[in-house]
Amino acid sequence: MTTIDDDAAPPPVATGTVQVWSDLLCPFAYVGLLRLRRARERLRLDLQIEHRTFPLELFNGPHPRRGTDTEAVGLGQIEPDAQFRIWTAADDLYPHTVLLAAEAVHAANAQGLKAGEALDLALRRAFWTHSQSISHRQVILDVASELPDGIIDVTRLAAALDSGRHRADVMGDFAVSQTDAISGSPTFRFQDGTTIHNPGIQVHWDGSWAAGFPVVDSHDSDVYDDLLKRVASA
């Protein structure tokens, strides 16, 4: 049984930053992050993304392939830029855990939030589009090495993974994720105090989760423009 730390609280949101709490295998988070990035570009805001971990597997157990496959089919219809694909690699390579990848994002954050954002996005694309097993150390490092030069020091990233120094960051985020402060993946926190879970998307399931598929009742990508305009005005 998991013990909830009632004293756990999310860290403050720094000036010019959006905190995003999510799981790497959460397709709703991937959609939200793509829409957040596009809104930031449209509005020409100098805004950084601070990635925090909402580790779904620590709530629900190992990630099931049938869950991500059905969600990819459902959400691919509303967000073509995500290039969602069902898993096409061998079944025994499917990443049922992404805790090491979450550690890697924290390790990249330590090199700068731009490094963390770049690695987070690259890992999501590696999984959702290219069916890469992002649970594996070498795959994570290969994904990082394919980023443009200067974004991430891969040698430093490898050393951080091998030392395990960022596992405590993941577990600290898990403690916060169990409180009412974070509603689920994805949750966006802004400096003005706004906290919102999965903005702009309403879905229901046709059938049970993983056996059926999600049906999008409504979605509004403009919600991110409105949120970022509030941040900019504040």
In the chain, domain spans: 17-223
CATH topology of domain 17-223: Glutaredoxin (3.40.30)
Residues constituting the chain: 234
Question: Quick check: 23 and 70 in contact, CB under 8 A?
Answer: no
Q: From CA 224, how far away is CA 220, in angstroms rounded? A: 9
Q: For residue 210, how far is the Cα from the chain centroid?
A: 20
Q: What is the pLDDT along the chain (234 residues), one digit of tens a residue?
A: 233 455 689 999 999 999 999 999 999 999 999 999 999 999 999 999 999 999 999 999 999 998 899 888 888 889 999 999 999 999 999 999 999 999 999 999 999 999 999 999 999 999 999 999 999 999 999 999 999 999 999 999 999 999 999 999 999 999 999 999 999 999 999 988 899 999 998 888 887 776 777 888 899 989 999 999 887 776
- What pTM value is reported for the model? 0.94
| Neighbouring residues of 19: CB distance < 8 A, sequence distance ≥ 6 | 10, 11, 13, 50, 52, 188, 189, 190
Contact (Cβ atoms closer than 8 angstroms) between residue 49 and residue 112: no
